[in-house]
Structure 1
Amino acid sequence: MNLTGDERLDYLLAEDLTIIQSPSVFAFSLDAVLLARFVQVPIQKGSLVDLCSGNGVIPLLLSTRTKGTITGVEIQERLYDMAVRSIEHNGLDHQLTMVHEDLKVVVPALGWAKHDVVTCNPPYFLTPSIEEKNRNEHFAIARHEIMCTLEDTVKVSSDLLKQGGKAAFVHRPGRLLDLVTLMRKYRLEPKRIQFVYPKMGKEANTILIEATKDGKADTKILPPLYVYKENGEYTEELKEILYGSPA
């Protein structure tokens, strides 16, 4: 494994997988892990696409839950390269593919209404200040709507999905109504929503939402997910998600 600059090889703890990370370029967050666990996927076969794929963490995690093919789409060349090398290092070239492209133009190449699942951990924030953008362009693009908007990601998800296919997003609670409105605009009916809380007594800081293309209106609010106990340790549910065991 050839690492560049400050890159490091980290373990995905609940899986027998490793991933290239860089503190100055990109390192995945808990949000990506939660999304990869939340989304419903076909077990034996199917076609999955991950938009805003970063260093490929969600495709890697999804590979442990499905035998279907998984394509990650990432616009930043450095992150795309990290993802490709991680996939090769884990011997998953036969199942996982990365595409270095702007998601707004990727649908013709990947196929209209062809896929079973689309996941997306999109940029959460609006356009950054010049200072923020200049300080670290990699972070700015990953976190802010510079290269794509929330509407772009929802529209492309719908364009990629076959009828009955599922689109799953992770975002901030403040964008919930925006997400629902955009999903319905593009024929994605929200079906499952889960709020994630840092600990009991605190406001939710993350939402997970899954929609079905051309689905009937019937939204289920799942039980809340708490990240930390009062003593600062992970909850048993989070330990199982992160480490593969409630112990």
Structure 2
Amino acid sequence: MSIVAEPLNIQQDPGGYRYSYEPFLLANWILPEKGARILDIGTGCGVIPMLLITRQPALEITAVEIQPALYRQAVLNIESHGMSDRIRIFQGDYREWAPRMERASFDWILSNPPYRKINSGKINPNQEKAVARHELMLNLEHLVVASAPLLKDGGKLSLAYPFERMAEVKTTLTRHHLPPGRSLLVFGQERKAPKICLIEGVKGGADRNPREETLTIRHSDGNYTNAMKDIYASFNYPERTDRLGKK
């Protein structure tokens, strides 16, 4: 895996939505080949596409973001790192954008989408944070329905969701002919319940016995595990100490 000479300097609005560790997990987990066409849904400030390019420069990435302020931030981040030739970004509602795209055009679609259902928990008064955290603009069903036609045969849809929604995600993927493949259970801390899960739906069918792996973010003393340190270091983020699971 390649590492950029200098760490990415990804700018974020201090008062707006700020990413946690999920983008690093997703970017580390997917395995795109050279030249793969990738779509990132709800790209935020553009962190996932930029992380992917540091690993594999020869990718063709498209990103979509509905919130204008985050879209503008992503454009600035991508341009400032000289990645505009490999990352195209669009501003708009994915549900309206997806039907206009060529069918079967992506090898991999990924998303770190809004986690919470509308009737689950208090909605943040900050509009940017609210849209990023609650399914106000894009729910699981919309996401899968819009994505399935865009995948090539054998293409993969990789999603990050809270562990308690894992069964729902698998059922939704299966219902729309993207049977679940690999999964990763992410434990925020040792000896605690899983916090989130990464799940992969495969167009045309997954392995009969898909792998279910695990990853622990922190030891019980609060320090990062070696596995998580290795992930951050592989993206040249060895000192990353952002909030744990504060999506």
How high is the TM-score relative to the length of structure 2?
Answer: 0.88
**What is the distance in 2 between the residues matched to 1:166 and 1:69?**
15
- Which residue, out of 188, 203, 218, partners 1:213? 203
- Which residue, out of 33, 38, 43, partners 2:29? 38
Q: Does 1:192 align with 2:182?
A: yes
**What is the distance in 2 between the residues matched to 1:139 and 1:237?**
29
Q: Structure 2 vs 1, CA of residues 46 and 197 (structure 1 numbering), >3 Å: closer, same or farther? A: same
- Which residue, out of 2, 17, 24, partners 2:15? 24
Q: Structure 2 vs 1, CA of residues 15 and 161 (structure 1 numbering), >3 Å: closer, same or farther? A: farther
Conservation of the 8 A alpha-carbon contact between 1:189 and 1:217: no
Match of 2:221 in 1: 231
Secondary structure of the corresponding residue to residue 29 of structure 1: coil
Give the CA RMSD over aligned residues.
2.3
The aligned runs of 1:142-181 (5 Å cut-off) are: 142-181=132-171
Conservation of the 8 A alpha-carbon contact between 1:193 and 1:219: no
Looking at both structures, which has the greater relative contact order when contacts are Cα pairs under 8 Å and sequence separation is at least 6?
2
Q: Deviation of residue 128 (structure 1)?
A: 5.9
Match of 1:74 in 2: 65
Q: Which amino acid aligns with 1:95?
A: R
Conservation of the 8 A alpha-carbon contact between 2:4 and 2:54: no
Q: Which amino acid aligns with 2:97?
A: V
More deviation, 58-67/198-207: 58-67
Q: Structure 2 vs 1, CA of residues 15 and 182 (structure 1 numbering), >3 Å: closer, same or farther? A: farther
Q: Percent identity?
A: 33
**Cα-to-partner distance string for 1:172-203 (whole Å, 9 max, x where unaligned):** 01111111111111111211011011222100
The aligned runs of 1:92-171 (5 Å cut-off) are: 92-127=83-118, 132-133=123-124, 135-171=125-161
Q: Structure 2 vs 1, CA of residues 13 and 95 (structure 1 numbering), >3 Å: closer, same or farther? A: closer
Secondary structure of the corresponding residue to residue 205 of structure 1: strand
Q: Structure 2 vs 1, CA of residues 141 and 62 (structure 1 numbering), >3 Å: closer, same or farther? A: same
Aligned residue pairs total 234
Q: Which amino acid aligns with 1:215?
A: G
Structure 2 portions without partners, runs of 5+: 240-247
More deviation, 61-70/86-95: 61-70
Conservation of the 8 A alpha-carbon contact between 1:124 and 1:143: yes
How high is the TM-score relative to the length of structure 1?
Answer: 0.88
Q: Which amino acid aligns with 2:129?
A: F
More deviation, 28-37/102-111: 102-111
**What is the distance in 2 between the residues matched to 1:146 and 1:86?**
26
Structure 1 portions without partners, runs of 5+: 1-11
Q: Deviation of residue 219 (structure 1)?
A: 4.2
Q: Which amino acid aligns with 1:48?
A: I
Q: Structure 2 vs 1, CA of residues 54 and 116 (structure 1 numbering), >3 Å: closer, same or farther? A: same
